[in-house]
Chains A and B, each alone.
Chain A
Amino acid sequence: DAGVIQSPRHEVTEMGQEVTLRCKPISGHDYLFWYRQTMMRGLELLIYFNNNVPIDDSGMPEDRFSAKMPNASFSTLKIQPSEPRDSAVYFCASSQGPYQHYSNTGELFFGEGSRLTVL
């Protein structure tokens, strides 16, 4: 399998612009996660989906952030308008459920990340 595929790998944009990050999970995985990683805050869960349905979006920082999963093989994370404090590496990860069950290994397969710089 090709693994989790993210695009773009790098994005440099100006404050106020719209940013769209894309993710293709591993085929057959029914959970998809969006994380943000910074030096200051570490790895933060933004939102996760189960079978294309958003389950927990409590980590989304504010209304400027939105995420969709129109089908099992594609998800987007959109920031509009972007701000310098949004600069981070955004990771998409997928896993095979049942994520909620304690016995599940919980292994997340991460994409290579999208490094966002907002000037």
Chain B
Amino acid sequence: QKEVEQNSGPLSVPEGAIASLNCTYSDRGSQSFFWYRQYSGKSPELIMFIYSNGDKEDGRFTAQLNKASQYVSLLIRDSQPSDSATYLCAVKSNYQLIWGAGTKLIIKP
């Protein structure tokens, strides 16, 4: 059974600090990795994707991938209250997209 694991949280971070969200996956053959953000009562939306080991930066967001350790993380710098949401990790494995249960992030003003 292919699995994607996330801490459900909530993760509480002060405004302006760095929020660090983590995700581990079981299938070593996984090829691509995605972070979706879901506001309460809304649908998921893609914010980052990464294929290669290392870091990928996009504005305040950085995705980090370590295939040897089978984890992917999302860093949010200068956290804002508007970043409060559930962050879903999704892993493409053998043409399937496997979803984590999500981590609820709360940014405290």
Contacts and interface: CB of A to CB of B under 8 A. Distances in A.
A18 B95 CA distance: 32
Interface stretch (A20-28, A68-76, A98-106): A98-106
B25 interface: no
Contacts of B31: 102
Contacts of B99: 42-43, 45
Given A43-B88, A106-B90, A113 B43 contact: yes
Interface stretch (B9-17, B44-52, B55-63, B72-80): B44-52
B43 A102 contact: no
A45 B4 CA distance: 14
A14 interface: no
Interface residues of B, number: 20
Chain B interface, DSSP helix/strand/loop, else mixed: strand
B36 to A, nearest CB: 8
Contact of A91 (B43, B90, B100, B101): B43
A67 B24 CA distance: 32
Contacts of B102: 42
B97 A100 contact: no
A100 B99 CA distance: 16
Contact of A107 (B42, B49, B51): B49
A119 interface: no
Q: 7 nearest interchain CB pairs? A: A110-B43, A102-B31, A42-B101, A100-B95, A43-B99, A107-B46, A106-B92
Interface of B: 31-32, 34, 42-46, 49, 51, 88, 90, 92, 95-97, 99-102
21 contacts: A42-B101, A43-B44, A43-B88, A43-B99, A45-B97, A45-B99, A99-B95, A102-B32, A103-B32, A103-B51, A104-B32, A105-B32, A105-B46, A106-B32, A106-B90, A106-B97, A107-B49, A108-B46, A108-B97, A112-B42, A113-B43
Given A91-B43, A107-B46, 9 more contacts: A42-B99, A102-B92, A103-B51, A104-B32, A105-B46, A106-B97, A107-B34, A108-B44, A110-B43
